[in-house]
Amino acid sequence: MVENVIWPAYFDAELSRSGGRRVPADLAVAEPTVEEIAKAVQQVGYDARIERDVAYPREGYKERGRVLVKNPTDDSKNDIVQAVAAYVNALRE
């Protein structure tokens, strides 16, 4: 079983691709939170665990947390991130 780390920066519309965003601009949202990412991960069908006191290395000391995703099917991390982005975007609408 693989455990993937998903950072809020992956979905942040204010960041560029080189700044850490991993989803297309049309799927990105403003100021994503670990709670909504964890909820989207569970909607996709994976187990999620939130770690709040950690900072994405590219963001310095800004502690937004991260979500650990247990992936029993060994899907690629990119597939998981894209699916979660679609759900986060849907939760915001």
pLDDT in tens, 37-68: 999 999 999 999 999 999 998 888 889 999 99
pLDDT at 78: 93
Instruction: Please state, in angstroms and rounded to a whole number, the distance separating the CA atoms of residues 78 and 65.
Output: 19
Residue range 24-37: mean pLDDT, rounded: 95
**H/E stretch holding 92:** helix 77-92
Instruction: Please state, in angstroms and rounded to a whole number, the distance separating the CA atoms of residues 66 and 68.
Output: 7
Three-state secondary structure call for residue 34: helix
Residue 73, burial from CB neighbour count under 10 angstroms (0-12, 13-18, 19+): exposed
CA angle 5, 8, 13 (to 5 degrees): 140
Contacts of residue 44, defined as CB under 8 A and 6 or more positions apart, other chains included, come to 80, 83, 84, 87
**Given a cut of 90, is residue 6 above it in pLDDT?**
yes
